[in-house]
């Protein structure tokens, strides 16, 4: 019998029971390990390997449905490890033009190394038209912050026929929301700063793959650029995985409740949440996702009304991230990197009581009029 997500999350990566040993051994802080004589073993130097990473990587591999995992010091370190280790001069890389804006910022870096970057929107699987001769296809679904969704299986099948590898940025969904590797992708990549660790207190990222050669290439990239996770962060993230299913279920329920409360509200336009049955992304999302994530996006009339709304929230923290246990929101246009209207708000639902969160959002909206 297959175990449930809660059971999987609680036990993921934990060592075999051993008398007088803790259930999850604490972080190992080591720059180097004893290595006398001909010593061979998994732990040599702290930039190559660490037992705390090993346990976290096993855990994330189990959540990904069985995979080798390489963890990184941030989501961007993980994103860059795939884009930059898998491509070189003359290679064609296909990217969404609406993915996380710092990932998009790697376009110029790739081009400076001689790669050719083609871009198209996520909605409607527009990447399909750009695959000829491609080496790597980068997907992000749902996208941050506009919450468009592409059909991963469909693009993977076409990309593989064209001879390209496919990587999916799965940050928003997490592996309990969607498993890119099960949909045929070669890499599942994430910022674990968000829902995976879920407490807004650390930065981490990971790359998962079922191909040992690709895993070795990404691991070697980490060794050579040194983008390694700190043992304390790795341990905190592993500890937090035990509650991943609980947190996601509450966040998803809260996000849906907020989206339902905003639907039809006279001040709100452009509401997006892939879990809403009438959302343009819902049909594809429902086919490939098991949980629709914590982010809801919408627009208020203009910058001033969005700022009034954000300033009137009491439970919802104003912050530029998502996935934490505490709800947060921001006016995305303040950074200038996304093609969104000035009044566009990205709201991340936390694990507060649903009634309290919805009341806070509706009260703040009433105060923006
Ligand atoms: N990918 C997505 C979809 C993100 O939203 C982010 C950060 O917001 C990243 C990658 C980068 O993650 P990090 O901030 O952990 O470097």
91 is catalytic: no
Question: According to the model, what pLDDT value does residue 337 have?
Answer: 86
Last residue of a domain, one of 214, 241, 268: 241
**Among this protein's residues, is 194 annotated catalytic?**
yes
Over 90: is that where the pLDDT of 296 sits?
yes
Q: Answer yes or no: is the C-beta of 214 below 6 A from any ligand 1 atom.
A: no
Same domain, 298 and 188: no
Over range 351-363, report the average pLDDT.
Answer: 98
Overall domain count for the chain: 2
- Determine the structural domain holding residue 19 and report its residue range: 5-241
What is the predicted pLDDT for the residue at 238? 98
40 — pLDDT class (breaks 50, 70, 90): confident
Residues 288 and 226 in one domain: no
Region 50-68: mean pLDDT is 98
In this structure, are 60 and 117 located in the same domain? Answer: yes
Q: Are residues 228 and 269 in the same domain?
A: no
Q: How far is the CA of 105 from the centre of ligand 1 (A)?
A: 12
The answer on pLDDT for 282 being more than 90 is yes
Model pLDDT for residues 232-245, shown as the tens digit of each residue = 999 999 999 999 99
The verdict on whether 222 is a catalytic residue reads no
- Ligand 1 pocket member 357 (CB < 6 A): no
Q: Report how far residue 171's alpha carbon sits from residue 188's, in angstroms, rounded to the nearest whole number.
A: 9
Q: Say yes or no: 178 and 259 in one domain.
A: no
Q: pTM to 2 decimals?
A: 0.98
- Tokens representing residue 254 in the block: 């809260």
What does DSSP assign to residue 25? Answer: P
Strand partners, 332: none
Q: What is the mean pLDDT of the chain?
A: 97
Same domain, 198 and 272: no
Nearest-CA residue for ligand 1 atom 4 is 100
Q: Which of 80, 193, 233 to mutate to test the pocket of ligand 1 (most atoms within 8 A of CB)?
A: 193
β 68-72/205-209 pair status: antiparallel
Three-state DSSP class for residue 264 = coil
């Amino acid at each position: 019998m297959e175990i449930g997500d809660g059971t999987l999350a609680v036990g993921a990566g934990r060592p075999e029971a051993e008398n007088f040993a803790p259930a999850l051994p604490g972080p190992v802080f080591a720059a180097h390990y004893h290595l006398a004589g001909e010593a061979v073993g998994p732990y040599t130097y702290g930039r190559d390997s660490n037992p705390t990473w090993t346990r976290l990587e096993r855990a994330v591999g189990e959540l990904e449905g069985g995979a080798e995992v390489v963890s990184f010091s941030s989501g961007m370190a993980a994103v860059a490890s795939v884009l930059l280790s898998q491509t070189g001069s003359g290679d064609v890389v296909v990217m969404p033009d609406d993915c996380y804006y710092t990932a998009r910022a790697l376009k110029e870096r790739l081009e400076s190394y001689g790669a050719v970057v083609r871009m198209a929107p996520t909605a409607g699987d527009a990447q399909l038209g750009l695959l000829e001769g491609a080496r790597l296809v980068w997907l992000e679904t749902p996208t941050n912050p506009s919450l468009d969704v592409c059909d991963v299986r469909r693009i993977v099948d076409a990309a593989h026929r064209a001879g390209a590898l496919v990587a999916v940025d799965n940050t928003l969904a997490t592996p309990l929301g969607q498993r890119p590797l099960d949909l045929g992708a070669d890499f599942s990549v994430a910022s674990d700063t968000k829902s995976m660790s879920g407490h807004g207190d650390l930065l981490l990222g990971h790359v998962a793959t079922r191909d040992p050669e690709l895993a070795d290439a990404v691991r070697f990239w980490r060794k050579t650029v040194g983008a390694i996770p700190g043992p304390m962060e790795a341990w905190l993230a592993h500890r937090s995985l035990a509650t991943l299913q609980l947190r996601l279920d509450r966040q998803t329920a809260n996000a849906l409740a907020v989206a339902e409360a905003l639907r039809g509200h006279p001040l709100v336009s452009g509401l997006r949440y892939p879990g809403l049955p009438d959302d343009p992304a819902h049909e594809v999302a429902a086919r490939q996702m098991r949980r629709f994530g914590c982010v809801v996006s919408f627009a208020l009339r203009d910058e001033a009304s969005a700022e009034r709304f954000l300033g009137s929230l009491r439970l919802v923290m104003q912050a530029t991230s998502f996935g934490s246990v505490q709800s947060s929101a921001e006016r995305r246009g303040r950074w200038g990197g996304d093609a969104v209207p000035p009044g566009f708000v990205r709201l991340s639902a936390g694990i507060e009581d649903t009634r309290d969160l919805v009341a806070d959002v509706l009260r703040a909206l009433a105060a923006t009029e």
